[in-house]
Amino acid sequence: MSKKAISVLSGGLDSVVATSVYAKEYDIHAITFDYGQKAAEQEIKVTAKICELMGFEHTVIKLPWLAKISDSSLNSNEDIPQVSNEDLDDLEKCKESASSVWVPGRNVVFTAIATSFAESVGAEIIIVGWDKEEASTFPDNSKEFLNAFNVLLDIGSPNDIEIKAPAIDLDKWEIVKLGHDVGAPMELSYSCYSGENKHCGVCESCMRRKRAFIQAGINDLTEYLK
């Protein structure tokens, strides 16, 4: 019997690459969350394609209550911030952008639910796309958060489960390199906050994606509106 894993798969570049790292070693059940975000339809569509391509079981979990308590620009009428290339290296501007798209307790909730799935099927690992570059403004992407949650699982779960974040020490361009090396279907991934059919090209997530492919020297097949 092959080893089992749960992947928290949003369909974004980071989670697609992280999951692909373990695709040959584990029988993966991917879970995708709909918490009322503007990009929910696109994220569900691309994760379904990726899971079909890679042979993963796929479950979509709706969290309407999270949408109701959140005033994030991701799942409200508030406009999503646009940033320039220069802004990506301005910590204060990135903190302001991150504050706008912050969803209360999102990774705490997602990882807790992933733990329930892992315990129920006897999975050894939970795969997440947390990374170094985004940890500077999103504390629930940091190595400290990863280590703390693994301590929590050691104490609170009767099973031997570990959260794996292969991009935890990587910047975005290094994630693209890793994705290229492991054959991740990065061309199918969807990183945009806007939820349009094509990437908007101007939100912070799109801008970081565009820069990463350029810095990595790898052809970007993503279609951007701008």
Structure tokens at 40: 């929910």
Beta-carbon contacts of 129 under 8 Å, excluding residues fewer than 6 positions away, are 8, 10, 12, 13, 14, 15, 16, 17, 18, 19, 165, 167
Q: Which CATH class is domain 3-216?
A: alpha beta
Beta-strand relationship, 3-8 and 26-34:
parallel
User: pTM of the prediction?
Assistant: 0.97
Element holding 51 (H helix, E strand):
helix 40-54
Whether the pLDDT of residue 1 is over 80: the answer is no
Whether the pLDDT of residue 208 is over 80: the answer is yes
Binding site feature residues: 9-19, 192, 200, 203, 206
Binding site feature residues for Zn(2+): 192, 200, 203, 206
Comparing CA positions, the residue from 218, 223, 171 lying closest to residue 201 is: 223
For the stretch 4-60, pLDDT in tens is: 999 999 999 999 999 999 999 999 999 999 999 999 999 999 999 999 999 999 999
Comparing CA positions, the residue from 154, 151, 69, 53 lying closest to residue 109 is: 69
Average model confidence (pLDDT) across the chain: 97
Percent of the chain with pLDDT over 70: 100
Phi, psi of 74 (to 5 degrees): -70, -35
For the stretch 134-170, pLDDT in tens is: 999 999 999 999 999 999 999 999 999 999 999 999 9
Structure tokens at 224: 């951007």
Nearest-angstrom CA–CA distance, 5 and 209: 26
Asked if 201 and 208 touch (Cβ cutoff 8 Å), the reply is: no
31 SS3 class: strand
Bridge partner residues of 82 (DSSP): 203
Nearest-angstrom CA–CA distance, 112 and 54: 25
Binding site feature residues for ATP: 9-19
Nearest-angstrom CA–CA distance, 151 and 154: 5
Asked if 15 and 21 touch (Cβ cutoff 8 Å), the reply is: no
Query: Residue ranges per domain, the chain?
Result: 3-216
pLDDT band at 2 (very low <50, low <70, confident <90, very high): confident
> Alpha helix (H) ranges present in 86-223?
91-101, 106-121, 132-135, 143-156, 172-182, 204-216
